[in-house]
Amino acid sequence: MEKDCIFCKIIDKELPSDFIYENDRLVVFRDINPHAPVHILIVPKKHIRSINDLTEEDNEIVSELISVAKDMAKQESVSESGYKLFFNVERGGGQVIFHLHLHLIGGWKR
């Protein structure tokens, strides 16, 4: 847990958020400011600042973020219509919360 990290506080339930999914290593919740009809965040419980801070020991969790994103897309009924997965990296890349998270957006009308 990193002091003053909003996502650490959400993970530790110090701040309210409804988890769509949780296991020992990650949580999934809806983005407070959605950019698409479906906008969810897949967030490791371990505090990692950004993609730049990943080490080899994080390979498993990064892989799990993607595999859970695939499952969440199915659960949110956007698997077939399609969706985007992305990480914003540091300020210039649009990152505003400095706790690693994978965005899943989709659900646009075709």
Report, as residue numbers or ranges, the catalytic residues: 101
Residue from 32, 56, 57, 80 binding ligand DGP (CB under 6 A)? 32
Q: How far is the CB of 110 from ligand DGP (least distance, A)?
A: 24
Cα–Cα–Cα angle for 7, 46, 4, rounded to 5 degrees: 40
Ranges of beta strands (E only) in the chain are 19-22, 26-30, 38-44, 83-86, 102-106
Our finding on whether 2 is near ligand DGP (CB under 6 A) is: no
18: tokens are: 């409804």
In angstroms, give the least distance from the CB of 12 to ligand DGP: 13
- Minimum distance from residue 29 beta carbon to ligand DGP (Å): 5
Q: Are the CB atoms for 8 and 76 separated by under 8 Å? A: no
55 binds ligand DGP (CB under 6 A): no
Interface residue with ligand DGP, options 19, 21, 36, 88 (CB under 6 A): 88
Choose, by CB under 6 A, the member of 24, 33, 80, 109 that binds ligand DGP.
Answer: 33
44/63 Cα distance (integer angstroms): 11
Sheet holding 19-22, edge to edge: 19-22, 26-30, 38-44, 102-106, 83-86
- List of residues contacting ligand DGP (CB under 6 A): 6, 17, 29-33, 88, 94-97
